Chain A
Amino acid sequence: MLRFAPPLALFVLAVPLACGLMGTILPAFGFLPALGGHRLSTEPFADLFAQPGLWRSAIQALMIGLVTTAISLAMVAGFVCAWYGTRAFRLIQHLVSPLLAVPHAAAAFGFAFMIAPSGYLARLFSPWATGWDRPPDLLIVNDPAGLALIAGLVIKEVPFLLLVTLAALPQVPALRSLRLSQSLGYGRMMGFMFTAWPALYRQIRLAVFAVIAYASANVDVAFILGPTTPQTLPVRLVDWMNDPELSMRFMACAGACLQIAVTAAALLAWLALERIAGPLAESICETGRRFRRDGVARLASGAMMATSALLVFGGLGVLALWSVSGLWQFPSTLPDTLSWRTWQRTGPALSGPLATTIIIALAATAISVAIALACLQRENETGRTGGNRALALLYLPLLVPQIGFLFGLQLMLIAGDADASWAALILVHVVFVLPYVFLSLSAPWRAYDRRYEAIAAALGASAARSFWRVRLPMLLRAVLVAAAVGFAVSVGQYLPTLLVGAGRFPTITTEAVALGSGGDRRVIGVYAFLQMLLPFVGFALATLVPALLFRNRRAIRGL
């Protein structure tokens, strides 16, 4: 039975991807019999390139991908190099880690509520410092250069890159390299940068690529924080795809092909940057400069990290506050009155999307955890890990822009009359949930001391008994954490739910994004609060269940 697990995982990940790409490329060249496209043509591309401001949108998507990744990586690298092995490192690590679970849209709304002209930061400093007694007329959110969008993406990508780096750190002799370079007279920050970071970067490279792909093709955050005239390419594509005029879909698919090219160009540009940065760092290293006075740089890197985390936490707090605020005039820092009115008013409309969100997330997570467990157990039996090729395959759904294959997948599902079904929706969530579940579960699973299994077998336990009675209970916490990660990923999915659900399966996330940053702040507060509450409940359960179950077992209860 377990023999079929790895091929099943491959099937679940690769088939939607391949079908989706195919289903995007064919209509882009005019072939889509269901909508009357019977022969190949380049007309959809001609239509696409005739759109006003198209190149601006495309180049902006490319730049946003690159700049977001560069800033996020620089922040994480600077922080790890400057602070690894200190108490401050652990403190900030604990501060930043939970942010991974916050859905992008909720973080983006929170960020908008912080930085907007009438947002919380302006209120904090008004009127005593700024002199404003009404919101200034500034375009901060949705600025044409996309700075708010970049910042909103950075604060969410930093926790991701930091966690990936933390997972890679044990595989690198980081502390010894640091001590060695320090004893040779190097400053802490550059000592680590020269000796440990290159090996660390090789380990996290795929994750960096995933950030480039995500940031260059993102829809939901761009919709909330991004420029409006014109919008970035991915947002415009989704508009076209959802246009009631069905013939627009040919052009949307051509646009999705352009998006794939944009993301590919961003990845290629990054590879070129790597080529430049590597030798540059080497030549600096060869000068033998010790960079011993790095106090200011270290402080700055720590402060940036903490600020980024506090902005998200602050934003989430402000969201929660708005959801229960009555009258809240500018520039008051706190609402004049508190009330449950918004919750009562939106309550009836909430329950449907809430149930849909939970059902899809639970099902996708259960399927993903089962597949991941089966694959890992198979690996345990055969002693073969899939190696780097399997890892690249796992990352594949995270490296291809979602739009690139979701458009095609939606068209194929419509053709097969299977769109807007629970099964299709859950399976498309699995495509995005499974990689995260697998990546989260594989490290503790492989680190497990196999002598326990030798003992169980020697005591007469079959492989199945040993799995269910010994290994699984001992790794229960890791399994539940992986499940919580998967649950959070599913809750945060916007585009797959929107497209494959054909709008008939509204979830908390699709409803929240649809409100946009210009909507009623109290209602946005309610939706975004629920969006962050769900993952939080998942992680709380992942901590509490083992703590209760094993409350008399000190070695593994975890709390």
Chain B
Amino acid sequence: MTDPSATHQTGLRLDNVAIALGSRTLVSVDHLIAPGDVLTVMGPSGSGKSTLLAFIGGFLDPAFSARGRVHCNGIDITDAPPQARRAGLLFQDPLLFPHMSVGGNLVFAVPQSVTGRAARRTHAADALCDVGLDGFFDRDPDTLSGGQKARVALARVLVSDPAFMLLDEPFSKLDAGLRDQIRRLVFERARARRLPVLLVTHDAADAEAAGGALIELAPAASDGNGP
């Protein structure tokens, strides 16, 4: 199962990963994201950058075919079910569960190893505090501002104790001032926890702020055959 050369590597290793739709290869990556580092994949919409995230997260649409392996801290997670991968996912939209309170969203994410209702709640409350939303536990997610929702989404990911982070243009829907602030917060928290981060974006400012390696994808139409 496990590639012996990868066993001592920490971080997220994308080992000759290539994703294709039919005969057309959308993305191919061979890269090690070290703990605390960011790999940015840039490309216009439709270039297949989000399929890379879906593949690593374990929910690639069966219409696509993928090869290559994904190792996380030396363990091959390519065939693991999504709930066993400990991927920290952030999308364009905060996607807070609308039927739960803000705190409920976080408690849902607290790992099962934390037992006891009170302990889980404390854990969640601490995580809220950590993103500057002390006292928001019982709020309805729908009543928060865009920036607050983004913070809750980040806190929800962090409280789940992820092994790495997958960011799918998470800042693109925030307005300019807020975007900078949230971007800094996300990268700072990821670095502090030494999490490998994969960021896909079409915004050059994101790539610049991330500061790590950069892979640019060609537009989908450039190879002459549409989907």
Contact = CB atoms under 8 A, between A and B. Distances in A.
Interface stretch (B95-103, B116-124, B187-195): B95-103
Contacts of A552: 101, 140
Contact of B99 (A457, A459, A474): A474
A553 B140 contact: yes
A180 interface: no
A552 B166 CA distance: 31
Name the prevailing secondary structure of the B interface residues: loop
Given A469-B108, A473-B99, A556-B99, A458 B82 contact: yes
Interface centre among A454, A462, A552 (most CB of B within 10 A): A454
Interface in A500-559: 550, 552-556
Interface stretch (B30-38, B55-63, B68-76, B171-179): B55-63
Interface residues of B, number: 37
A554 B57 contact: no
Contacts, number: 80
Contacts of A453: 59
Contact of B109 (A449, A459, A462): A459
Which of B85, B93, B95, B98: most chain A Cβ within 10 A?
B98
B99 A550 contact: yes
Contacts of A470: 97, 108
Nearest to A460: B83
A459 B57 contact: no
A380 to B, nearest CB: 12
A291 interface: no
Given A383-B62, A451-B95, A469-B108, A554 B143 contact: yes
Nearest to A554: B142
A463 B84 CA distance: 12
Contacts of A132: none
B89 interface: yes
Contact of B98 (A451, A454, A461, A555): A555
Interface residues of A, number: 26
Nearest to B53: A454
B112 interface: yes
A455 B109 CA distance: 10
B141 interface: yes
Interface of B: 54, 57-59, 61-63, 81-89, 91, 93, 95, 97-101, 108-109, 111-112, 140-143, 156-157, 160, 162, 166
Given A458-B82, A462-B83, 10 more contacts: A451-B93, A453-B59, A456-B108, A458-B57, A469-B108, A470-B108, A473-B99, A553-B141, A553-B142, A554-B140
23 contacts: A383-B61, A451-B91, A451-B95, A452-B97, A455-B89, A455-B91, A457-B57, A457-B58, A457-B59, A457-B81, A457-B82, A457-B83, A458-B162, A459-B83, A459-B160, A460-B112, A460-B160, A474-B99, A553-B140, A553-B141, A555-B141, A555-B142, A556-B98
